[in-house]
Amino acid sequence: MSSLHNTEIFTGGELRPNTAMSRALKDIAKRLEMTRGALGISAAQIARDTDISANEWSQYINPDKYKRRISVEHVYELKDTYGATLEWIYDGDVSSLRGELAAKIRAMIKSAA
């Protein structure tokens, strides 16, 4: 067996031990709901403000039932409309958020810890 067969493969999440959450569907869904809660809006409001239908949102936040990850296009909708970044939604990187949204999400994370 060559040495390549014995090399571990990293996805990125394993290399950053300070990342609070993973890229798992459940964690992405949790961040989507945290974002909605921090914004103080309903799923129906998201559907009105973006191209994300209420049905799609429901599938994104219920990963056990639907096993559906939010698309990059829809994350860009959240970014353009509300300031939620790809780094936050996919990776849990709070440092990429700005202003009031960042402060509210940081407070939510702190209270959950």
What is the residue-wise DSSP string for 36-98? HHHHT--HHHHHHHSS--HHHHHHHH-HHHH--PPPHHHHHHHHHHH---HIIIII--GGG--
Specify the pLDDT at position 21: 62
Could you give the domains of the chain?
A: 20-112 (1.10.260)
Specify the pLDDT at position 18: 46
| pLDDT, tens digit, 9 for 90 and up, residues 13-27 | 444 444 456 899 999
pTM recorded for the entire structure? 0.80
- Identify the band that residue 62 occupies on the pLDDT scale cut at 50, 70 and 90: very high
- Identify the band that residue 37 occupies on the pLDDT scale cut at 50, 70 and 90: very high
- Burial zone of 3 (CB within 10 Å; 0-12 exposed, 13-18 middle, 19+ buried): exposed
Question: Which residues lie below 8 Å from residue 3, measured CB to CB, with a gap of 6+?
Answer: none
Asked whether residue 93 carries a pLDDT value surpassing 80, the answer given is yes
Mean pLDDT of 78-104: 96
